[in-house]
Amino acid sequence: MTSLQQYATYREIKSQTEAWRQALVEVARIKSMLNAADYEQVIFTGCGSTYYLSLAAAALYQELTGRTARAVPASELLLNPKTVVRDGIPQLLVAISRSGTTSETVKATEKFKEEKRGEVVVISNYDEILSRLADVSIVIDKGREESVAQTRSFASMFVAASAFCARMAGREDLVQSMGRLSDVGDLIISRYEMWAKEIGENLSFDRFYFLGSGIRYGLACEANLKMKEMTLTHSEPFHFLEFRHGPMSMVNQDTVVVGMLS
């Protein structure tokens, strides 16, 4: 395993729980917390990985608060706003970007602000232009990465988004429980690293399917993206039971099916 230390992605995955801890601290620092009851719609947005993060966060927000939330790619919010925003209602935009400079996300957020659609929360790993557009900014600098493919950054921002949703729902009990996440994460990474390495070294596997429902569908999408970006292997995400309706015919002895459960 020592040889893997030369790879930034490996080091970033192994050290990600430090960024989880900081994410919780940064959310706890928000003094004037917003209230879910003040918004009829909350829009989570991002691009690529952070759009998939938005899918998971929007599902979690609606589950915890009982208020309407949806996730859209920032490009859709920018190019087709009438399919996303609604006139005459209080709305909140949660814009998520690793760099804080993602062009579509910045432009969509600027437009949202210019049209006075509502308040903006930004979750990022850098204090950049996007954060300066925010009413509430959450920056987790320990999530920064050298790698192109997001791992530590995604996880840090998802922890922050989850804690944000819990606080918006008034669920301080959940926020406190999340304080144990880093210790649990270190244990799981250590316990399953060798097993993950064995699967990764088995080159006979040529297709991967990630299944997740509810808040875990967005995470299945992200795991699928990581497989494509980092290994150029065929990979697809599905809601659990949707996999039955056609896609399961692709399963053979060279397939890995990953179910994401709670």
Instruction: Give the model confidence (pLDDT) of 83-103 as tens digits.
Output: 999 999 999 999 999 999 999
The full length of the chain comes to 262
Distance CA 187, CA 125 (A): 25
Q: Report the top-level CATH class of 2-180.
A: alpha beta
Distance CA 62, CA 113 (A): 23
Q: Give the pLDDT confidence score for residue 32 in this predicted structure.
A: 77
Report how far apart the first and last C-alpha atoms of the chain are (Å, whole number): 29
Residue 2: band (very low, low, confident or very high) from pLDDT cuts 50, 70, 90: low
Please tell me the pTM assigned to this model. 0.96
Residue 22 has pLDDT above 60, yes or no: yes
As given in the structure block, the two tokens for residue 243 are: 């996999």
Q: What is the side-by-side order of every strand in the sheet holding 207-211? A: 234-238, 207-211, 255-259
pLDDT in tens, 32-46: 778 999 999 999 999
Which amino acid belongs to residue 249? S
DSSP conformational letter for 155? H
Q: Work out the average pLDDT over 215-239.
A: 97
- Give 206's contacts (C-beta < 8 A, 6+ positions apart): 233, 234, 254, 255
- Give 245's contacts (C-beta < 8 A, 6+ positions apart): none
* Fold of domain 202-259: Rossmann fold (3.40.50)
- The mean of the pLDDT values for the chain is 96
Same topology for domains 2-180 and 202-259, yes or no? yes
From the number of C-beta atoms within 10 Å of its C-beta (0-12, 13-18, 19+), residue 31 rates as: exposed
How big is the CA angle at 169 (ends 166 and 173), to the nearest 5 degrees?
55
CB 56 within 8 A of CB 219: yes
Domain ranges of the chain: 2-180, 202-259
Q: Give the pLDDT confidence score for residue 4 in this predicted structure.
A: 87
